[in-house]
């Protein structure tokens, strides 16, 4: 069963343009992500999917396989689906191009989950939230799960709502880390579906999966990850990476 890891790397990000090429300790951000992904034992090959010749050249310079995709892709999953459409694989792992702290073990756990759970079309990683600030931050996506750890709903709002009081308890809240594993057959079909109502409201693509009736299995990790969307995020990531340099 072949497993492909794909890192979507759009150059023109809205909040921090060109962030995938930002230099962090002598390497572009995307190289840190690629090196993490290469450490995953369950992934046979790692590909970078980009719409930029500049990003392509930099990535090929450090030895990555790169697929140039259309600039018209509306989402990371659209870009990944285009990149892998002619590649033979059973499972595709979507690795965020701006998260150099993502745990390779979590990538392996996602692949193992899809192999084991025939009901699931998609698997994704979640983590218990440790502080109230993240619970109330709309940029931190929350998820509610059932007893079998399948996702019930994702939201930028605080879910579940604690009617008995506003006292924070980390036992109630989970953060969605944004890395996915898909069955390739599902991914190719899913990206042909129109955006859903809930997806449009929350601006969360995974809601299209749930609203279309597909199951998302979650895998709980105790290792956090930070997406680099702002200069402050970059500062935090650098501080963490520096400890390991």
Q: What is the pLDDT of residues 137-193, one digit of tens each?
A: 898 999 999 999 999 999 999 998 887 766 666 678 999 998 999 999 999 888 788
Number of domains composing the chain: 1
- Rounded to 10 deg, the angle between the 29-38 and 53-61 helix axes is 50
Q: How far apart are CA 47 and CA 109, in angstroms?
A: 19
Residue 165, in any domain of the structure: no
Strand partners, 93: 5, 181
CB 64 within 8 A of CB 48: yes
Residue 148, in any domain of the structure: no
Q: How far apart are CA 32 and CA 114, in angstroms?
A: 26
Q: Kindly report the CATH number assigned to the domain that includes residue 220.
A: 3.90.550.10
Choose among 180, 213, 17: nearest CA to 111: 180
Choose among 71, 87, 88: nearest CA to 8: 71
What confidence tier does 234 reach under pLDDT thresholds 50, 70, 90? confident
State the pTM of this model. Answer: 0.91
| Mean pLDDT computed over every residue of the chain | 90
State pLDDT tens for residues 194-215: 888 999 999 998 999 999 999 9
Residue 15, in any domain of the structure: yes
48-62: average pLDDT: 93
Residue 245 confidence (pLDDT)? 52
3-class secondary-structure state, position 232: helix
Question: Domain containing 89: what range?
Answer: 3-126+177-197+212-244
Residue 133 confidence (pLDDT)? 87
CB 34 within 8 A of CB 99: no
Residue 203: which region, alpha, beta or left (left: phi > 0; alpha: psi -120 to 50)? left
Residue 14 confidence (pLDDT)? 64
Q: How far apart are CA 10 and CA 75, in angstroms?
A: 10
Which is more confidently placed, 77 or 240?
A: 240
Radius of gyration of the CA atoms of the chain, in A:
17
The per-residue DSSP string of 29-87 comes to HHHHHHHHHHT-TT-SEEEEEES-HHHHHHHHHTT-EEEE--TT--SHHHHHHHHHTTS
């Amino acid at each position: 069963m072949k497993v492909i890891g794909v890192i979507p790397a759009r150059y023109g990000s809205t909040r921090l343009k060109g962030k995938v090429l930002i230099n962090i300790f002598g390497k572009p951000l995307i190289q840190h992500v690629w090196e993490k992904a290469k450490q995953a034992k369950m992934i046979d090959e790692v590909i970078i999917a980009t719409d930029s010749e500049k990003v392509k050249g930099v990535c090929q310079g450090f030895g990555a396989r790169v697929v140039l995709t259309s600039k018209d892709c509306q989402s990371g999953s659209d870009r990944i689906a285009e990149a892998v459409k002619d590649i033979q694989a059973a499972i595709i792992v979507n690795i965020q191009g701006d998260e150099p702290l993502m745990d390779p073990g979590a990538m392996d756990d996602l692949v193992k989950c899809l192999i084991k759970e025939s009901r699931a079309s998609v698997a994704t990683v979640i983590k218990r939230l440790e502080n109230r600030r993240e619970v109330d931050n709309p940029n931190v996506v929350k998820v509610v799960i059932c007893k079998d750890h399948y996702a019930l709903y994702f939201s930028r709002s605080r879910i579940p709502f604690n009617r008995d009081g506003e006292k924070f308890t980390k036992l109630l809240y989970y953060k969605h880390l944004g890395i996915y594993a898909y069955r390739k057959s599902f991914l190719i079909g899913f990206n042909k579906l129109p955006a859903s109502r809930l997806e449009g409201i929350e601006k969360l693509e995974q809601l299209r999966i749930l609203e279309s009736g597909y199951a998302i299995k979650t895998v709980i990790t105790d290792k956090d990850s930070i997406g680099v969307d702002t200069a402050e995020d970059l500062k935090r990531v650098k501080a963490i990476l520096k400890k390991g340099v």
